Chain A
Amino acid sequence: MKKKLLFVLFLLAIMVIGIGCSATTDQPLKDDERVITEETGNTGEEKKVLRIGTPGQHYPWNFFEAGQLKGADIETIQEITRRIGYEAKFDIMAFEALYGSIDTNRIDTGA
């Protein structure tokens, strides 16, 4: 029963995050709107940003460990963005929302 309740709360949490994200536009994001951003270097100039949607709950592709987003997909895209000089910005969203969010230009890709 406790487990079930936790699961429901978890689903609610996902929904809340989803609603929060839906308010974002194509305007440049303020720092506090970024779910997770990563510095990929220290060149002093504004980095281009790659927006990546991920559920963060599909071990071992994308998951959270001690509050850190990890996984094979996550580390692949982190390394790609590092190599091409982009900043990786992760948005946590349900898997089902990924394609729609790419289509409507809220994110660039999914992991």
Chain B
Amino acid sequence: MEDLIGKRFIANPSYVAYQFITEYIEENNLQGQIELIASEAEPFMEIQLGRADATFSSLVLFNEKKEKGEYDLKVVGEAIGEQRHAFPFRKDVDPEFLEQFNNALREMKEDGFMSDLFIKYFDLDISKSQM
């Protein structure tokens, strides 16, 4: 994150990335040291065109977005946050069924099924934390 000092960071003000970088700048008294560009333009395109230096990206979606847009960009630094993903059920779901469901999912994490599946789709094993 410190490498952003002296750089232009682009984010859409209605997205969480903008909120995150704003709080980071305030908490670390970096006002004026990181130039924050509030823009609704596609951040990857703006960086490609040299109008900004960096943005946040989902690790999961980066490769696909990069290939689709033919962007000459790369991921740097460490993961700054992660989202958990779950299947929603009603609260009155049969507890016995739910236990079977959760056990199967746990087994799939343990026996490598989820790792293989995520590598197939994302080239990244997100069954394990990237933080």
B128 within 8 A of A: no
B16 on the A face (CB < 8 A): no
Additional A-B contact list (12), CB under 8 Å, known A83-B107, A98-B88: A59-B64, A60-B122, A75-B117, A76-B105, A76-B117, A80-B104, A80-B105, A83-B108, A102-B88, A109-B89, A110-B88, A111-B87
Which chain A residue lies CB-closest to B89?
A109
> B99-120: contact bitstring with A at CB < 8 Å (1 yes, 0 no)?
0110011011000011001100
Q: Number of B interface residues, CB 8 Å?
A: 19
Q: How many residues of A contact B (CB 8 A)?
A: 20
Choose among A72, A77, A79 the residue that contacts B87 (Cβ–Cβ < 8 A).
Answer: A77
Which of B88, B107, B113, B122 makes the CB contact (< 8 A) with A109? Answer: B88
Q: Any chain A CB within 8 A of the CB of B121?
A: yes
A103 on the interface (CB 8 Å rule)?
Answer: yes
Please state if B88 and A99 are interface contacts (CB–CB under 8 Å): yes
Q: Which residues of B contact A75 (CB under 8 A)?
A: 117
Is A84 interfacial (CB 8 A cutoff)?
yes
What is the distance, in angstroms, from A89's C-beta to the closest C-beta of chain B? Answer: 15
Expressed in whole angstroms, the minimum distance between the Cβ of A106 and any Cβ of chain B is: 11
Query: Which A residues lie within 8 Å of B90 (CB)?
Result: 102-103, 105, 108
A71 near B: Cβ within 8 Å?
Answer: yes
Instruction: Closest B residue to A53 by CB, please name it.
Output: B88
Q: Is the CB of A60 within 8 A of B64?
A: yes
Nearest CB in chain B to that of A85: its residue:
B100
A105 to chain B, nearest CB (A): 7
